[in-house]
Amino acid sequence: MKKSICGILCLVPIFFACKSVPADLSAYTPIAIMTVYGNPSVPWYNESTNTETVDDGILSGAVNRMINKKNPENTTAQERIDEASALLSERMRDFGLEVIDPTVLKDCPIYKDTGKNFLDYLGNTVPANGYDAITSSNGKLNRSMCKQSGAASVLYVNFRFQKVIVKDGVRNKGVTARLVMSVFGTDASGKRLVNREYKAVSSDYTELIKSSDWDKDKIMTFYPALQNRVITEFLSEFVGANNDSKPADYKPTAITLKPKQTEPTLADAQTEDAVLAEKQATAKKLLDRGMSTQEAAEITGLPVEDVEALQN
């Protein structure tokens, strides 16, 4: 069952600024990687329309993954994000950066209190081994983490695995892999250092035998090279003195999920009610933990005014 979601929760807010020299992360070590997480399936991405079509609704995702449990796109999800996480830490050290072990972060009180949002509980985010899927950043969290862990800066990293159709003119001839890596980071004072998105598409592809038949295992083999490409691009830009050739900010890709045109059913209405209830319960917990209504709204996707009403 396909369901549509209007937009995707961004890792961080969108920033706009004039061109400036990117921060040199060499001056902000050791670095605490707060989170590395990915998506549990591999949705279709249409470059011409900038749309993403997925089988994962808020609550239907787990059901669809159960049905397709033999599909390597689903069965290798943890392997994909663990591989990306390990490569990220390894390449950062190759670039001379000191990375704090995630086990140190787990012992920090502020990390233990970050909690999970409803997407985590539903399995729609896959954290790398050793991390929680923290999908939002705030100054208090970042400052406290640096103070408690001894870090000079923090990074939040999200990998989104996608697949795209390869065309020969107007004919669909194959399927290949696409990867988007979003990186956000601040220094110990909470000042933003990094807010970037990196994209890569594999030049190799697997033949499309039929509209729904291709070598899914082969597609999975394309991702390691893409991971190395986006990670290296990020580090080449933010480590070292000669890194002033690119803009300091990016506009995150505004992906719209392509809806399936069907008549709403009673089951759909019940699902939406359940999702709303989970969002409200999550927002209430975040407010009880001291988060602002704006932060709780960003994490849960609820309107600010609806979150404010939960305080009454």
What is the tens place of the pLDDT at every residue in 101-147? Answer: 998 998 899 888 775 554 454 457 899 999 988 988 899 999 999 99
52 belongs to a structural domain? yes
Cα 289 from Cα 168, distance rounded (Å)? 54
pLDDT band at residue 274 under the 50/70/90 scheme: low
pLDDT of residue 191: 95
Residues 86 and 128 in one domain: yes
CA torsion sign for 109, 110, 116, 120 is negative
Q: Please give the average per-residue pLDDT across 155-183, as a whole number.
A: 93
Cα 25 from Cα 241, distance rounded (Å)? 10
Residues 202 and 289 in one domain: no
Residues 308 and 251 in one domain: no
pLDDT band at residue 10 under the 50/70/90 scheme: very low
For the cut 50, the answer to whether the pLDDT of residue 244 exceeds it is no
Cα 104 from Cα 123, distance rounded (Å)? 25
- Tell me, what amino acid is at 300? T
pLDDT of residue 48: 81
123 belongs to a structural domain? yes
pLDDT band at residue 234 under the 50/70/90 scheme: very high
For the cut 50, the answer to whether the pLDDT of residue 200 exceeds it is yes
Residues 167 and 215 in one domain: yes
93 belongs to a structural domain? yes
Number of domains in the chain: 2
Q: Cα 34 to the chain's mean position, in Å? A: 13
Of the chain, the end-to-end C-alpha distance in Å amounts to 37
Query: Which segment, 79-83, 279-283, 284-288, is predicted with the most confidence on average?
Result: 79-83
127 belongs to a structural domain? yes
12 belongs to a structural domain? no
7 belongs to a structural domain? no
Residues 201 and 284 in one domain: no
pLDDT band at residue 49 under the 50/70/90 scheme: confident
* Across 106-115, 229-238, 276-285, least confident range: 276-285
pTM metric for this prediction: 0.69
Residues 307 and 193 in one domain: no
Secondary structure of 271-299 in HEC code, one letter for each residue: HHHHHHHHHHHHHHHHHHCCCCHHHHHHH
150 belongs to a structural domain? yes
For residue 285, the enclosing domain spans 264-312
Cα 183 from Cα 12, distance rounded (Å)? 9
HSE-CB for 16 with a 13 A CA cutoff: 0
For the cut 50, the answer to whether the pLDDT of residue 267 exceeds it is no
Residues 160 and 237 in one domain: yes
Residues 133 and 241 in one domain: yes
Residues 254 and 268 in one domain: no
Q: What percent of the chain is predicted at pLDDT more than 90?
A: 45
6 belongs to a structural domain? no
Is the omega angle on the peptide bond into residue 109 within 30 degrees of 0, that is, cis?
no
Interaxial angle between packed helices 266-288 and 293-300, expressed in degrees from 0 to 180 and rounded to the nearest 10: 150
Cα 280 from Cα 272, distance rounded (Å)? 12
Report yes or no: 130 and 124 within 8 Å, Cβ to Cβ.
no
Q: By CB neighbour count within 10 A (0-12 exposed, 13-18 middle, 19+ buried), where does 242 fall?
A: exposed
Residues 66 and 186 in one domain: yes
Residues 181 and 286 in one domain: no
Contacts for 304 with CB less than 8 Å, ≥ 6 apart: 293, 294, 297
User: When comparing pLDDT for 211 and 294, which is higher?
Assistant: 294
Query: Which segment, 58-67, 100-109, 242-251, is predicted with the most confidence on average?
Result: 100-109
Residues 268 and 127 in one domain: no
- Tell me, what amino acid is at 256? T
HSE-CB for 177 with a 13 A CA cutoff: 24
Instruction: Tell me phi and psi for residue 54, to 5 degrees.
Output: -130, 160
What CATH number is associated with residue 133? 3.30.160.150
